[in-house]
Structure 1
């Protein structure tokens, strides 16, 4: 933790690692049709059904993002460091401006570098989840973050859940405060809800509990640190790290034995949120994890992680349509470093200015709300003083004839 800012630097590192995992995941989606059912399928099985899957467990990494958001977004509000009007104003600016920038970036790529559907594999991620043309109405729809699926910037589906949780945050913070004493049993209950939600196919029950577990970690952060300080032996953290990583990708590790679409396979996938929460606990409490996550390159990745998350899918899609997804390896070799470079530029040109604007808007709205509240309080005080200084009894109003 940075003592001067109160920022949990290791969590920035987690965010950076998770963003790279998502990028590699999308490269793996390009490779998948050329591995399954072919001579290279054994290599694909080794990559996806062993701990190597942790390197590109993209959907599971999004669960890590959700737990992180529930923690870091709620923490200032739990500590009384922000007002609700100021928070919402700043949060919407910080969320929407980079999203709009990414959509314009993606639209520009599509218009400048035409995409031929015949150059990619039909029925796969590249063909199904990435637009080949720009429809202004569709662009505006995605800019609201209200659709369920997205094709201009495919990763925006998770930002929709970020928006939903932001709107629900007052309830989440209130519940976290009320249930603070029972935070860990409630977190266990949320884990059960995530598993049941995955089995039942209810996305809200899969994703929103992950956010709330993060909020529960935030409300018990001090006690969590105290608990962690009593566990200084590396093997203790090694076990928690291993168990959390296993839960994160349990549905993949079990595939040699369990059909992924079966009830058990879906239940195992539901445990990914539990694994994500465990990894966040490790990042907060383990001295070794903090040292690894706080090295400069990882922290830099954390700084540009949101930008990387927003720009990499349009870049990979553009390259895949240009090279053909059969050359997925070339897309990865070019696309991953190019995404990092573009993310750095996007951070400087779009995301960082949005942070500054969000702070200014948040302060202005907070100041305005405080001014209105003070005026309302003073007006009530003036009315009370006026009534008490009259000195005469006030008759109750007569009922009107009806």
Structure 2
């Protein structure tokens, strides 16, 4: 399979969908006290430790899945900018519209759920659910809407703060990727090490923005990376799963544990490469379920957590397993509606903004041709998405 230069790498949609599903499972399980304790590295019943402190944690490794999102964003935004001239004047406002319209809508959804289902902080509920018992304030609401200081009312928004920062700094990341293209793997390694260094230095910008740089580096080397052979791919898949979950099964006091974040990020980069360069992974990720999850992944990410917390507040403390069983289907249904009525219109609006601001004569000719095709009914029944769609 060859990548279409101006097209979308469809299997990466599937990877994004799988990562979103992992985050959903992660927060659904955190409504159960024992799993919430495991996530906080508190004692866990022996009967459930196998799902916490082994590589099987990969099925609900929500934090690591967010790192995969960061690497993916770095890749899909950098790749088209390296392949063709980027119209930055049109890009910036369109990108902000694409991100902020769904974010604002998700904050309103979270606010309604917060008001309808009070966060009680009941001692019998999980420690994770109890942490959401914050008071509502105008300052906190503004922080959520602007992404400057998101609250726990919809805590996944913290990652969108860095998504916006990366989007605004994209020209810098593209320049670094272009300059270091021949040695892209060194850039990826250095970026992973810088991200790891950000933790002890308490420099969040270094920790998180470096994750996007890992993806940018992979984009710079994409044409140099050969198709992965079948057996090699299976080995890399096992190694990347072990690496992605090393923070859970590898002892923290063991030598080399300090580089755990580096291993996790490089494992995320390997997963991106496998998704686009290894035929078995491409076939799976191009399946109907991963692709469907990929289409609603952004919406699912934005709306699922307030739903999970609300359901956990309503479920009796004696039966915590009911919460994840209800959360998963309800969050998926909500994401479908959110994608249809919020995310898709926001995407269309962003494209309109981009077209109006674009100074590219060829883009203008393309718009005129598209108008003629639409008027004559020859444009076809679907759009062709671009690699920059989040």
The two structures have a TM-score, normalised by structure 1, of 0.83
- Distance, in Å, in 2 between the alignment partners of 1:134 and 1:82 is 41
- Distance, in Å, in 2 between the alignment partners of 1:33 and 1:8 is 39
- Distance, in Å, in 1 between the alignment partners of 2:21 and 2:93 is 29
- Distance, in Å, in 2 between the alignment partners of 1:35 and 1:223 is 43
Matched, 1:334 2:337: no
Q: Is the 8 A contact 1:120 1:126 kept in 2?
A: no
The alpha carbon displacement at 1:165 in A equals 0.9
The alpha carbon displacement at 1:13 in A equals 0.4
- Listed as ranges, the gaps of 5+ residues in structure 1 are 371-402
The alpha carbon displacement at 1:289 in A equals 0.2
Q: Is the 8 A contact 2:19 2:65 kept in 1?
A: yes
The alpha carbon displacement at 1:367 in A equals 3.7
Change (3 A) 1:332 1:215: same
- Distance, in Å, in 2 between the alignment partners of 1:316 and 1:236 is 39
Q: Is the 8 A contact 1:13 1:301 kept in 2?
A: yes
- Distance, in Å, in 1 between the alignment partners of 2:337 and 2:6 is 25
- Distance, in Å, in 2 between the alignment partners of 1:202 and 1:44 is 34
Matched, 1:361 2:353: yes
- Distance, in Å, in 2 between the alignment partners of 1:210 and 1:40 is 31
Change (3 A) 1:86 1:114: same
- Distance, in Å, in 2 between the alignment partners of 1:368 and 1:144 is 31
The two structures have a TM-score, normalised by structure 2, of 0.85
- Distance, in Å, in 2 between the alignment partners of 1:266 and 1:27 is 29
The alpha carbon displacement at 1:17 in A equals 0.4
Residue number in structure 2 paired with 1:125:
128
Residue number in structure 1 paired with 2:387:
none
The alpha carbon displacement at 1:86 in A equals 0.7
Runs of 4+ in 1 over 3 A off after TM superposition: 1-5, 32-40, 119-122, 131-134, 198-202, 262-266, 324-327, 367-370
Change (3 A) 1:56 1:356: same
Residue number in structure 1 paired with 2:383:
none
Change (3 A) 1:163 1:55: same
Matched, 1:252 2:248: yes
- Listed as ranges, the gaps of 5+ residues in structure 2 are 363-390
Residue number in structure 1 paired with 2:17:
16
Change (3 A) 1:39 1:223: closer
Taking only aligned residues, the RMSD between alpha carbons, in angstroms, comes to: 2.6
Matched, 1:96 2:103: no
The alpha carbon displacement at 1:203 in A equals 2.7
Query: Which structure has the larger Rg?
Result: 1
Change (3 A) 1:81 1:101: farther
Q: Is the 8 A contact 1:21 1:58 kept in 2?
A: yes
- Distance, in Å, in 2 between the alignment partners of 1:131 and 1:87 is 38
**Equivalent pairs, count:** 359
Residue number in structure 2 paired with 1:27:
28
Q: Is the 8 A contact 2:196 2:207 kept in 1?
A: yes
- Distance, in Å, in 2 between the alignment partners of 1:203 and 1:249 is 21
- Distance, in Å, in 2 between the alignment partners of 1:48 and 1:34 is 8
Residue number in structure 2 paired with 1:82:
86
